Structure 1
């Protein structure tokens, strides 16, 4: 990396990510965190508390807010003004500091890959060692499929999608464009469905639907998404799913949702748009969650949530009610003892009358 701060400004100003460039036009050699930076670095600063470190370390450029920049006018660094510093971190790191998944150490299509004769591999695709592509798999331009991934028959992989090592994409499943499947995730495993006879012996119900993952979705390592019994399990565009999550059959996750690690969503549940589920959220089946709901503190959903807002605990309740209940909880035994004493006194008074 070797570019001028003005070049960063020109690249991102039209989309409003960087709205101004002030100070000297310094040469940038790398992106670095503020607590480990040096001359030649570009750093991101969104709080006044980091001002001493900027003055001491003298990085080449600082991406920061208007308010912080006003305190750095005499620091001798390039100032790149960003209305949303965190978004600037994401997009600048994607552009200048991300891993190049297409720069591999072996042939573009590794000779150990097993590719069915019906598959057309785009000229710009990268297929790693041990990859298996079944019959009639469809690959979009620029796809990257890393080592030991299996894509079963009839599956569709959209353009510029990156599939990390040891993933499985089940038969007939559809993966959109610019999707990232991280290591070990499974898309389209059979859902959990059984019937019992009078002796409670279990009989598997075949799940013959599929999974549809729309564009710009990121799915974390070792996450599992079950195929539908019939129809489709759907992950809408822009959703982000963390590692070690489980999405049951016929679930629909809305656009731009965020599901944190260890979340489990039972079959036929519907999440609206922009729902955030913090770690270890869980639901019963056939639950519906409205747009813009935030689920906190290991939320457990026994019933649908129809209004936007913050909910917590199990069974999930509005956040303020949950916090009040949690404040009282450590004193429950004391309150119970006092109540029993009051009941005894009332009983004694009643007998005295």
Structure 2
């Protein structure tokens, strides 16, 4: 495992402009990483909050070479070096990514069907067996895994990740009824616009809009096995967890957290909303609300 000097980690945090408080010896080294519950000597680890630290405090010793902790009192905690930050999980994995992460190799895999009318940016990686249709645009640094379908006109921003089996931009489940009572598919003339730094999970489906585009804004993270229907709008930095189904023409605000749920069509979900696991949302949800249940009801404010 790679040896990293603690001074290198401090320099890394300084370069990124992270705000922290530290008690470290810059001459010490770490040799890899481990979880705090299964700590390995001379590694870097982290704790989530003061309660977690209290739970394991008696088990800690000076063998803990470097611990990333929240902004809490470390008096009486026996660790050799520590760094206090407001987001210990994020900083811990940022450090691991920089010093121990695999460097992404950008390449185009095998058996892909890529239209000559598609626009692909620099340093884009495309796996195997993908279909990329005409007028698709893929931004710089985006990674597309295997068996992905990007239908006509889909636009994907920079530094996105599209995991295996995702289908983006196919027509949605939209029908009208003719004079004979037969279901007739509504034509879909829109497409899908995906912003920058967006992650789309494995086997997730995002349908094209009927007239306007389906829109996924910057920083959105969509888990595996999700369904996002036609004309949906999802605001910046919203997280959507596995097996969530969002029906047509739903508008979701910024900074939301949507656990495994079903959201009825044509609803508006405000900014900074939390929707709890197993919820069935049948009414609009106002800003900063915490809702859950079937049907989902407001329980608190964020």
Fold similarity call, TM over 0.5: yes
- 1:90 Cα deviation after fit: 3.1
**Does structure 1 residue 100 correspond to structure 2 residue 103?**
yes
- 1:101 Cα deviation after fit: 3.1
Q: Which residue of 1 aligns with 2:236?
A: 255
Q: Which residue of 2 aligns with 1:26?
A: 28
Structure possessing the higher relative contact order (Cα contacts under 8 Å, 6 or more residues apart):
2
**Does structure 1 residue 150 correspond to structure 2 residue 112?**
no
Alpha-carbon separation, structure 2, partners of 1:138 and 1:318: 44
Task: Write out aligned runs for 1:154-303 (5 A).
Answer: 154-279=135-260, 281-303=261-283
Q: Which residue of 2 aligns with 1:6?
A: 7
Question: Higher mean Cα deviation, 233-242 or 194-203?
Answer: 194-203
Contiguous gaps of at least 5 residues in structure 1: 103-124, 321-353
Q: Is the 8 Å Cα contact of residues 30 and 66 (structure 2) preserved in structure 1?
A: yes
C-alpha change, 1:299 and 1:222, in structure 2 (3 Å) is same
Q: Which residue of 1 aligns with 2:107?
A: 126
State the 4+ residue runs in structure 1 displaced beyond 6 angstroms: none
- 1:24 Cα deviation after fit: 5.7
Alpha-carbon separation, structure 2, partners of 1:101 and 1:81: 30
**Does structure 1 residue 315 correspond to structure 2 residue 286?**
no
C-alpha change, 1:21 and 1:139, in structure 2 (3 Å) is farther
Q: Is the 8 Å Cα contact of residues 163 and 202 (structure 2) preserved in structure 1?
A: yes
Q: Is the 8 Å Cα contact of residues 5 and 26 (structure 2) preserved in structure 1?
A: no
- 1:65 Cα deviation after fit: 3.3
- 1:21 Cα deviation after fit: 4.3
Alpha-carbon separation, structure 1, partners of 2:23 and 2:134: 52
Alpha-carbon separation, structure 1, partners of 2:150 and 2:172: 14
Question: Higher mean Cα deviation, 24-33 or 158-167?
Answer: 24-33
Alpha-carbon separation, structure 2, partners of 1:25 and 1:229: 61
Q: Is the 8 Å Cα contact of residues 13 and 19 (structure 1) preserved in structure 2?
A: no
SS at match of 2:104: coil
Q: Is the 8 Å Cα contact of residues 273 and 286 (structure 2) preserved in structure 1?
A: no
Which deviations, in whole Å up to 9, do the C-alpha atoms of 1:159-192 show, x marking residues without a partner?
A: 1111111111111100001111111111111111
Alpha-carbon separation, structure 2, partners of 1:306 and 1:45: 33
Q: Which residue of 1 aligns with 2:72?
A: 67
Q: Which residue of 1 aligns with 2:91?
A: 88
- 1:261 Cα deviation after fit: 1.1
Which deviations, in whole Å up to 9, do the C-alpha atoms of 1:298-320 show, x marking residues without a partner?
A: 22222222342111112221116
Alpha-carbon separation, structure 2, partners of 1:303 and 1:297: 16
Q: Which residue of 2 aligns with 1:79?
A: 82
Alpha-carbon separation, structure 2, partners of 1:13 and 1:250: 43
Contiguous gaps of at least 5 residues in structure 2: none
Two-structure CA RMSD over aligned residues (Å): 2.1
Alpha-carbon separation, structure 1, partners of 2:275 and 2:86: 28
SS at match of 1:142: coil
SS at match of 2:57: helix
TM-score, reference length from structure 2: 0.90
Alpha-carbon separation, structure 1, partners of 2:150 and 2:33: 35
TM-score, reference length from structure 1: 0.78
Q: Is the 8 Å Cα contact of residues 25 and 78 (structure 1) preserved in structure 2?
A: no
Which deviations, in whole Å up to 9, do the C-alpha atoms of 1:95-137 show, x marking residues without a partner?
A: 23334331xxxxxxxxxxxxxxxxxxxxxx4111222211221
Which has the higher Rg, Structure 1 or Structure 2? 1
SS at match of 2:283: coil
